[in-house]
Structure 1
Amino acid sequence: MLELRALQSGYGETQVLFDVSLSVAAGEVVALLGRNGMGKTTTIRAIMGLLPVRGGQLAVDGASVAGLKPFQIAQMGLGLVPEGRQVFPTLTVEENLVATARAGRWTLADVFALFPRLQERRRQLARLLSGGEQQMLAIGRALMTNPRLLILDEATEGLAPLIRAEIWACLARLKAERLAILLIDKTLDALMKLADRHVIIEKGVTVWSGNSAELAAAPDIRARYLHL
């Protein structure tokens, strides 16, 4: 579904990605790992058309999307839960959810069933929600676009333990429904249980990829690329 080969990108004259390769198949969960500042968010932004592709290949369903606008990439079935949530603060919960909705499997009722807390706060302005509730709203908003691939940048960063557990349970349910997921998070234990494969980047270069069993059996890789 999604394939990056030797992707290069960056900000202005500053190149951040030099050789990032990864793929996500239909129904697959892939974790993008690496220490802070290694290019994970830049990779997500390049995938979504928010940064230019300077080299390499970026394809969805085998067709190049390099140079397409973000809304065109989203229309191909990619839904983004951005770092920092970025909900629309002056809209209500319900207005946030319907603002970018497309017809498909996910409806307002489905999102409220997934996150009952959002239904309780459906008339509340998004800026008045807690951080955890805003993250639920950001996930719900992305699901309302009815994506084939859900991309989450820092899925549970800064959230209370109970809220983190709720988010992980939500992602497990989405995986059971065979929704493809690409996610960034620092909670390695949870990622090892959820993800089918892991891709590690270091200074804008893919340095390792493999499944959870292979990563669990490679303490040297974890120490070298994931630990501070």
Structure 2
Amino acid sequence: MLKVNGLEAGYGRSQVLFGIDLSVRAGEVVTMLGRNGMGKTTTIKAMMGVLKPGRGEVHFTGKPITGLPAHRVARTGIGLVPEGRQIFPNLTVEENMLATQVKGEWTLEKAYTMFPRLRERRSNLGNKLSGGEQQMLAIARALLTNPKLLILDEATEGLAPLVRAEIWNCLTALKRLGQSILVVDKNIDALIKIADRHFVIEKGRTVWAGNSGQLSEADDIRQRYLGV
């Protein structure tokens, strides 16, 4: 579904990515792991058209999307839950969700079923929500674009343990529904239980790839690149 080969990108004269390779197959949950500042968010920006790649290729559903503007990438069927959530603070919960809704399997009612708390808060402004509620809203908003691929950047950053558990339960439920997901997060033990495959990023390069069983046993990789 998603194939990234040799992706290079940066900001001005500062190169950040030196050769990112990763892939997501239909129905898979895949992670992109690495310490802070290793290029994970930059990779997402380059894939999504927010940042123009210098070299490399990005293909989605068999078609090249390298260097397309962000709005065209989004229309190919990629839904993004960005780092920092970036919900609309002066719109209500429901207005946030309706702002991105397109016709498809995911409806407002289905999103409320996935996140009952959002139904309770549907009339509240985005800036009146807790961090966990904002993340639920960001995920629901992305799902209402009816994406073929859902990308979550820092899925549970700054959230309390109980809220993190809710997000992991959500991703598990989405996986059962066949949703393809690429997730960035630091909670490796939780991700090993959910994800099919993992890509480890170090200084703008893909340095390791494997499945959850392999990552569980790769103590050297976890210690060297992930700090655990």
Normalising by the smaller structure, the TM-score range is over 0.9
User: Could you list the runs of 5+ residues in structure 1 that have no partner in the other structure?
Assistant: none
Which deviations, in whole Å up to 9, do the C-alpha atoms of 1:156-193 show, x marking residues without a partner?
A: 11111111111100000000011000000110110000
Match of 1:22 in 2: 22
Q: TM-score, normalised by structure 2?
A: 0.99
User: 1:149 & 1:129 partners in 2: Cα distance?
Assistant: 26
Match of 2:193 in 1: 193
> Following superposition of structure 1 onto structure 2, how do residues 7-18 of structure 1 map, counting pairs within 5 Å?
7-18=7-18
Match of 1:58 in 2: 58
User: 2:161 & 2:136 partners in 1: Cα distance?
Assistant: 14
SS across alignment from 1:53 = coil
Match of 1:140 in 2: 140
Deviation at 1:62, TM superposition (A): 2.0
Code of the aligned partner of 2:56? G
Aligned residues: 228
User: 1:61 & 1:212 partners in 2: Cα distance?
Assistant: 24
- Does residue 94 of structure 2 align to residue 88 of structure 1? no
Code of the aligned partner of 1:89? P
Moved more, 8-17 or 20-29: 8-17
Code of the aligned partner of 2:148? R
- Does residue 132 of structure 2 align to residue 128 of structure 1? no
Deviation at 1:10, TM superposition (A): 1.2
Code of the aligned partner of 1:191? L
Deviation at 1:61, TM superposition (A): 1.6
Match of 2:102 in 1: 102
User: Could you list the runs of 5+ residues in structure 2 that have no partner in the other structure?
Assistant: none
SS across alignment from 1:172 = helix
> Following superposition of structure 1 onto structure 2, how do residues 156-175 of structure 1 map, counting pairs within 5 Å?
156-175=156-175
SS across alignment from 1:118 = helix
Code of the aligned partner of 1:71? H
Q: TM-score, normalised by structure 1?
A: 0.99
State the percentage of identical aligned residues. 61
SS across alignment from 1:111 = helix
User: 2:164 & 2:184 partners in 1: Cα distance?
Assistant: 14
User: 1:12 & 1:143 partners in 2: Cα distance?
Assistant: 33
Deviation at 1:67, TM superposition (A): 1.9
User: 2:187 & 2:94 partners in 1: Cα distance?
Assistant: 30
Match of 1:216 in 2: 216
Deviation at 1:16, TM superposition (A): 0.4
User: 1:196 & 1:88 partners in 2: Cα distance?
Assistant: 33
Which deviations, in whole Å up to 9, do the C-alpha atoms of 1:101-130 show, x marking residues without a partner?
A: 111110000010000100001011000100
User: 2:185 & 2:149 partners in 1: Cα distance?
Assistant: 17
Match of 2:36 in 1: 36
SS across alignment from 2:104 = coil
SS across alignment from 1:169 = helix
Code of the aligned partner of 2:204? G
